[in-house]
Structure formats: structure tokens, C-alpha cells
Amino acid sequence: MNFLLLSGSFHRASFSQALLHFVAEQLPEHQTATPDLRELPFYCQDIEGDQRPAQVLKFLEQVSWADALIICTPEYNHSIPAVLKNAIDWASRPAFKSPLKDKPVTFITQANSPVGGARAQAHLKLVFDSTLSRIHMCHEMMIAAVEQKFDQHLSLTDEHSQVRIRRHLHDFIEFIG
């Protein structure tokens, strides 16, 4: 299977990026791609079809290539980061016929707070429901106190989180069918 891994964070010490690196390592028999969403311009409804910038067309090809999406994001201001929402907005067009329609999607949220990005997870479900994607309904994969789960090299060292992510990915693959 082909998995597109989308991150909501791109700073140097991004736990989302580190978690997606761990996710990719757990899927050795599958193809993964992790686009840099910072390359996408802000969504503008005036730019449609062939007028879309090359970065957008490349991203849409990646979404179409993917059999499923795995999204890992922190929670910003009780919601999802703008870079991630912008990418979803580009991929959600044309409405009801976008490459997100019927695309299986699952979420991993993380935060330093004890709720582990629960509000971001709720917002992702709301947004992806509107794209007609197939949302992986499961025990939510949220990582609280995320700073304590990694070493100084951003390697996931928390065994409990490793086990939970592996189980989440296994369940997601079964969900995809």
C-alpha cells in the first residue's frame, strides 16, 4: 500500500515529524511519502484547474497516489495548525470529487498537555468528514506529555507509545481492507 504521511508541524524539533519517521519505520513493506506542506501557497478559490501552482499539482498527485493518509499533528490553540488545514483545503477540491473522497485517513495527535491533542483530533474528524474521506473510527491515538517520550535525537523511546502506535497502524491497515 501507499501511505501519505502528513505533518502539522515542521520546526527543527518537531515531534510530529519524529512520530511520522517512527510510523514509516513500522511500514517497511509499504511505500510512504511525507510532503513538506510549507511549500503550498495559501488556498485561493480563484486558482483552479491548470492555473494551480506546480507545488499544488504535485501535492494533489501525491494524495491521489496514496491508498491512505496518516496525519500526525500537534494541537495549536485548541485546533489544527494552519499548514495542515491549508493542505486539506487544496486537496478537498473539487468538492465531492476530490482525491480525498473515500480516502482512508487516520490521526495521531500529540501535545505536552495531558489531553494529547484531543481537540485537534476532534477538529480533524470534522474537517475530513466534510471531504467525504473514510475516517478510521477507533480508540483515538493521542500522545500526552510528548516531550517525555523522545530522546535528545528525537527518537521515540517510550515503549508504551511505540506499542500503541504499532497497534494503531495494524488496526488502520485492517480498516483499509
Q: Kindly give the confidence (pLDDT) of every residue in the chain, 177 residues in length, as a single tens digit, with 9 standing for 90 and above.
A: 999 999 999 999 999 999 999 999 999 999 999 999 999 999 999 998 888 999 999 999 999 999 999 999 999 999 999 999 999 999 999 989 999 999 999 999 999 988 889 999 999 999 999 999 999 999 899 999 999 999 999 999 999 999 999 999 999 999 999
Regarding beta strands 141-143 and 134-135, do their DSSP bridges make them parallel or antiparallel, or are they unpaired? unpaired
* Measured distance CA(7)–CA(174) in Å, rounded: 23
pLDDT of residue 164: 98
pLDDT of residue 50: 80
* Measured distance CA(83)–CA(120) in Å, rounded: 13
DSSP SS3 for 69 = strand
Q: Are 104 and 134 in contact (CB under 8 A)?
A: yes
pLDDT of residue 139: 87
The cell for 70 is 496518516
Instruction: Give every CB contact of residue 3 below 8 A, 6+ residues apart in sequence.
Output: 27, 30, 31, 32, 33, 66, 67, 68, 69, 70
* Measured distance CA(84)–CA(128) in Å, rounded: 12
* Measured distance CA(133)–CA(141) in Å, rounded: 18
Q: Are 141 and 133 in contact (CB under 8 A)?
A: no
Q: What residue ranges define each of the domains in the chain, with the CATH number in brackets? A: 2-176 (3.40.50.360)
Q: pTM value?
A: 0.96
DSSP SS3 for 125 = helix
DSSP state letter for 134 = E
